[in-house]
Amino acid sequence: MMKIYFLLFSGLFFLIIHSSKAQNTANKSAGILFYNVENLFNPENNPEKDDDEFTEEGMRHWNYSRTVRKQNNIARVILYSGQWNPPVLVGLCEVEDEKSLKGLIWNTGLNNLSYAFEHFDSPDKRGIDVALLYRRDRFRVLSSYPVAVRMNEKDRPTRDILYVCGLLDGLDTLHVMVNHWPSRWGGEASTREKRKKAALTLKQLCDSVLKINANARIIAMGDFNDEPGDVSLRLVSDSVFNKSDQKLVNLGFFAEGKVEGTIKHRFEWAIFDQILISNALLQNKKPHGYILKKVQLQIKGLPFLLEKDPEYPGVRVNRTYIGYKYHGGYSDHLPVMISLTSLP
């Protein structure tokens, strides 16, 4: 079975590479994907981080073979999400370190599609960070840096926001911000202020970009651990075009897919994974460049990412672990995607 899977995967890579090269002259679309990959750790112990759980001796017995399987699963999601045109940008969260990202690219063949990454270590105690994969044949990084989300002194430190500025196909400058806001662990109400702090940090970052260029093309993506209508996201985004303020448009209000959300708790789905854009990507005033013609957030409920839920109605996400039992799946989140289209 593994040999058959390898041959099918290799064949898919071959077709995608050739299709991608054929499309480079037209550059008709640019896919933007975000995926919470749920604990992409390498099995080596990092004494500076609380990663013992994901080592061979840890409670999850995380080892090299499980790591490679996880990497291949993530690569499969990226390829199938883009179909014949792999996404130009892939925001990730819950990756441990640079070594995990190098393995994701080089152990799976994603390097053959020109993928590289931007990443900085964050102060998260478990060592999970955000990162951005990008296709070097279509996106040129101009600058990148982490933006700290300052918590109260008594609170645990959280993930930085990753800011990357780059040039898409030599036409548009994109300002990309990858987020992973504080979780609801301990209760939604008791952790609400932490996510508001993250939201205000993102708002300040967006304002600083828009102050320099009111028509800046901003893409803020992430696992926000809140839904589009929650107070934290209302600080930075809205569902409608509004010239009077500098809020982003939250495409989470326009989510579509086979299921109603990106994460499921018992019988209830929620949309924690979202992509927000500035108004410039809806109304491009230039004679060329990219625009979001279809205001939609695709929830990528790919068939292999979902399975029958034995406890609650419908389906559930195909996870790597169920509790502490190894399940061999993908993640506890579904990826989300938008597609930018070039003007004629």
What does the pLDDT read at residue 155? 87
Contacts (Cβ under 8 Å, ≥6 apart) of 193: none
What does the pLDDT read at residue 242? 57
10-residue averages of pLDDT along the chain (344 residues) = 46 49 59 98 90 92 96 98 94 97 97 98 93 98 97 90 97 96 93 96 97 95 97 89 72 96 96 96 78 94 97 96 95 98 85
pLDDT digits (tens, 9 = 90+) for 78-111: 999 998 899 999 999 999 999 999 999 999 999 9
- C-alpha distances (whole Å) from 137 to each of 22, 167, 281 are 13, 11, 22
What does the pLDDT read at residue 300? 97
Spatial distance between the Cα atoms of 195 and 201, rounded to a whole number of angstroms: 10
pLDDT digits (tens, 9 = 90+) for 187-209: 999 999 999 999 999 999 999 99
Q: Residue 35 in contact with residue 104, Cβ under 8 Å?
A: no
What does the pLDDT read at residue 14? 47
Give 68: exposed, middle or buried? Use CB within 10 Å, 0-12, 13-18, 19+.
middle
Q: Is the dihedral of CA 272, 278, 281, 282 positive or negative?
A: positive
Q: Residue 307 in contact with residue 254, Cβ under 8 Å?
A: no
What does the pLDDT read at residue 7? 46
What does the pLDDT read at residue 284? 66
In sequence order, the β-bridge partners of residue 247 are none
What does the pLDDT read at residue 218? 97
DSSP helix/strand/coil, 54: helix
pLDDT digits (tens, 9 = 90+) for 156-183: 899 999 999 999 999 999 999 999 999 9
Q: 77: part of which helix (H) or strand (E)? A: helix 64-82
What does the pLDDT read at residue 238? 80
Q: Residue 130 in contact with residue 92, Cβ under 8 Å?
A: yes
Domains annotated on the chain, with CATH: 29-342 (3.60.10.10)
Q: 173: part of which helix (H) or strand (E)? A: strand 172-180
